[in-house]
Amino acid sequence: MLAFTIRRLMEAAIVMLTVALMAFVLFRFVGDPINQMVGQDTSLAEREELRERLGLNDPVLVQFGRFIWNAARYDFGISYQVKRPVTSLIAERFPATFELALTAALFAVLLGIPMGVYTGIHRDSWLSKLFLSVSLVGISLPTFLIGILLIYVFAVQLGVLPSFGRGDIVRIGGWTTGLLTVSGLKALILPAITLGLFQMTLVTRLVRSQMLEVLRTDYIKFARARGLSDRAVNFGHALKNTLIPVITIIGLQLGAIIAFAIITETVFQWPGMGLMFIQAVQNADIPVMSAYLLLVAFLFVLINLIVDLLYVWIDPRVRIYGREA
Amino acid sequence: MKLRITTLAAAMAAALLAVPAEAKTFRYAFQGDLNALDPYTLNETFTLGALGNVMEGLTKRDKDLKIIPGLAERWEVLEPTRWRFYLRKGVKFHNGEDFTADDVVFSAERCLSPESNIKSRIAAGTKVVKVDDYTVDFITTGPNPILHYEWDTWYIFSKKWSEANGATKVQTSSTQLSPFTLKANGTGPFMVESHQPGVKTVFKPNPNWWGKPEHNLTEVIFQTIKSDATRVAALLSGEIDMMDPVPVQDIARVKANPGTDVLTGPELRTIFLNMDSLRDELLYSDVKGKNPFKDARVRKAFYQAIDMEAIHSRVMRGNSANSALLISPLLFSRSAEFKRHPYDPEAAKKLLTEAGYPNGFAVEMDCPNDRYVNDEAICQAVVAMLARIGIKAKLNAMPKAKYFEKAGATQKYDSSFNLLGWTPGSFDSHNVLLNLVGCRDGKGSGAFNYGGYCNPKVDELAGKILVENDVTKRDDLIAQAFRIVHEEAGLIPLHQQTLAWGVSKKVKIVQRADNQILFYWAQKE
């Protein structure tokens, strides 16, 4: 188990180095950050001086080497645009994104799994058909459109929920949370639904198809023959055996939700990392972009690792084969 | 019993109506962030506008951009190179310190320090001399009629406060924000209560302000909302009272909504086209060995091929003012004398034939797609219109970060034909003649002349304009210079954009053409 974990962590380091290198090669094409940093009347000489001071005139490899050396010491430099250390910017923005992603994931799982089980068991009921139609909407509509539709209905027409921002937040140590205030909770609802809807439909459909398959197997028939209650058969035996692929998907999707909340955060002006990233791209803010990409790579590696470990825990077969191999 | 209830109800109603200090919170949103609260770090309209509610310069500009006294009560020109400013007495900074001549001298030094981004506010070489506590002299190297033109956004810092807070040096563009930039200490009608960069800023009225308040607000909250659709939704739902800008396509909708309206007005920025007339061979064209843009007839053909009425009504949906000049008519008294060369594709074709290009030629056009209102759409329209006279223009639309790098000085003006927008920071024509029209000399002249147009006669006039103190003579020189550029179609002016602010009908606010959001003129019901 330990060897497995260590091997995975080594792989993680290689993945992150590769991501950083690719990002750096791409940064040559994002444009000139200087124009966004100064006013229009700034003279050419001053612009050139600033470029020199930021090290933008150095060869790409030198810049890359400097970046890796600093990143290894958890120093990602100072944002060109916001002019604060990138690490503190990320620390400040991470709680917002994390709370949003977690709420969205909970929403997806807590609604998606029961809906999947229900539609799996009662294939032909009208409620199942309704669930499936709703999930079709979730899968086919793009995120920004869902967000804008929700804003239009709940903020503009009904006026019950806020259209942007995070509401009032409470500071606990280095963490900020919107979960403890009414306005914070209200502000969380629309973005979380927007972000989680796609994942919810994915979970519903996945659980449903897995249920349909598992319910046909012999051991379910046997369990029924033993006279077990429907509840015990459906949840104790059937659902448990559908969970392996579901956990894989949910795990990877959680990474995707955190990393790519960009669109949802932009639509709702949610002060998280995604919004920070999109602004960094527009302004060619290289320190923020590189740190963010590295963080995303790290998150994915970490989540993959956790998912692998969870497999071992849920499915004893993986454990046994793993030992033989 | 009944009587008592009525009396009670009446008493309650009276109590409700007579609440003396009713909370009036004005909430507004902008598409960009407010970062540092040091107005010397970024020479940008929105930041300077927001801080203009908190800090003040020696001069101010009124609702029509006319220069009026600010922290200086009055001023006079003692000799052509010596200006005397008499400071307002009894003015206090937010922290209670008195405002004196020392603060002005200190602010001038700070403004001219190497890290400052607003050095252009004070002409190079100007000496600032304290005469007494409430009198300051400015000694210039030569006559300078526009010495004080930009001083409404040269805000005065408190010397003592700056020293106490480590703010004597300006925040540099490449280093970390210093703690002092999260605070502000001015003399203005509002004070900064709290500031979270990029998220939210809260302002409170300054009870000790020297002037007579023209607002009735008790609190102002600024927030950034980047997404256009969300900004519109926040206004429609009443969560905010004002926002800027309203996207062109949403203006009708915001107007149709019963509780909201759109304030539109001319903006100072002019949008125009540059043609590379400097190189001996165009970089991006099928014409080899020569440069067609060197011929004024070709440039005029391009000018006359562009149907500005169509761009005004279709692309801008009526929200633009076509322009014959590179400067807004609000900023030059004689702009009415200039008329655009008429749209005439036939004449344009004839000009091309005379110049030796009867079948036109191919050229690439560079265009930003996230900088100006509908910038890419304007370029697309121009490309289509040029096709009618046989010019095969290929459009390269790109994000601003990329565009300014390619077409600007960074990559040595690597472009043959492009679109740019400009607001003269000094609100004066000389800035335009120097930056956009002047021959590129690598030192400062023509730094934003993306086409490299060069006419020594124009440069000579610009030199005279710089030192001419007589307003009528000066305007005449400016008109002469603009006339030359106009006649030989050195650049192609297109239009001034329109400002579009979304406002709640509960709010009355003044929209100034420089797009500063000044809530010290805001009234809320």
> For testing the chain B interface, which of A27, A44, A80 should be mutated: the one with the most B CBs within 10 Å?
A44
Task: Assess contact for B74 and B167: CB atoms under 8 A.
Answer: no
B116 vs A20: CA distance, rounded Å: 34
User: Residue A320 pLDDT > 80, yes or no?
Assistant: no
pLDDT tens, A34-44? 877 777 777 78
Identity of the residue in A44, A54, A269 whose CB atom sits nearest the CB atom of B230: A269
Alpha carbons A262 and B196: distance in angstroms, whole number: 21
**Which of B120, B173, B224 minimises the CB distance to A37?**
B173
Interatomic CA distance for residues A64 and A79, integer angstroms: 16
Nearest-CB residue to B229 (from A39, A148, A284) = A148
Q: Do A162 and B239 touch (CB under 8 A)?
A: yes
Size of interface A-B (CB pairs under 8 A): 141
Nearest to A191 by CA among A148, A135, A140: A148
Minimal Cα distance from A86: which residue of B?
Answer: B176
- Residue B176 pLDDT > 80: no
pLDDT digits (tens, 9 = 90+) for B82-140: 999 999 999 999 999 999 999 999 999 999 988 888 888 888 889 999 999 999 999 99
Question: Minimal Cα–Cα distance from A316 to chain B, Å?
Answer: 49
Least confident range of A150-159, A279-288, B93-102, B348-357: A279-288
CB nearest A31 (choices: B224, B401, B447): B401
Which residues in chain B have their CB less than 8 angstroms from residue A163's CB?
Answer: 230, 233-234, 237, 239
Of A30, A38, A148, the CB nearest to B173: A38
Residues of B in contact with A282 (CB under 8 A): 370, 399-401
Taking an 8 Å cut-off on Cβ atoms, the answer to whether A148 and B233 are in contact is yes
- Residue B489: left (phi > 0), alpha (psi -120 to 50), or beta? left
**Yes or no, beta carbons of A269 and B227 under 8 Å apart:** yes
Prior bond of B245 cis (ω within 30°) = yes
Closest chain A C-alpha to B365 CA, distance in angstroms: 18
Contact A47 B403 (CB under 8 A): no
Cα separation, A287 vs B4, whole angstroms: 71
- Confidence bin at B3 (pLDDT 50/70/90): very low
Chain A neighbors of B234, CB-CB under 8 A: 155, 163-164
DSSP B244: E
- Pull the structure tokens for residue A71: 């990143």
The stretch B191-204 carries a mean pLDDT of 90
Tell me the shortest Cα–Cα distance from A202 to chain B, in angstroms: 27
CA nearest to B97, candidates B185, B170, B192, B211: B185
What is the model's pLDDT at position B169?
A: 84
Q: Do A78 and B448 touch (CB under 8 A)?
A: no
Alpha-carbon span B231 to A268, nearest angstrom = 9
The pLDDT tens digits of the residues spanning A177-208 come to 989 999 999 999 999 999 999 889 989 999 99
The strand pairing partners of B393, in sequence order, are B363
- Full 3-state SS string of chain A: CHHHHHHHHHHHHHHHHHHHHHHHHHHCCCCCCHHHHCCCCCCHHHHHHHHHHCCCCCCHHHHHHHHHHHHHCCCCCECCCCCCEHHHHHHHHHHHHHHHHHHHHHHHHHHHHHHHHHHHHCCCCHHHHHHHHHHHHHHHCCHHHHHHHHHHHHHHHCCCCCCCCCCCCEEECCEEECCCCHHHHHHHHHHHHHHHHHHHHHHHHHHHHHHHHHHCCHHHHHHHHCCCCHHHHHHHHHHHHHHHHHHHHHHHHHHHHHHCCHHHHHHCCCCCHHHHHHHHHHCCCHHHHHHHHHHHHHHHHHHHHHHHHHHHHHCHHHHHHHHHC
Query: What is the structure's pLDDT at A48?
Result: 84
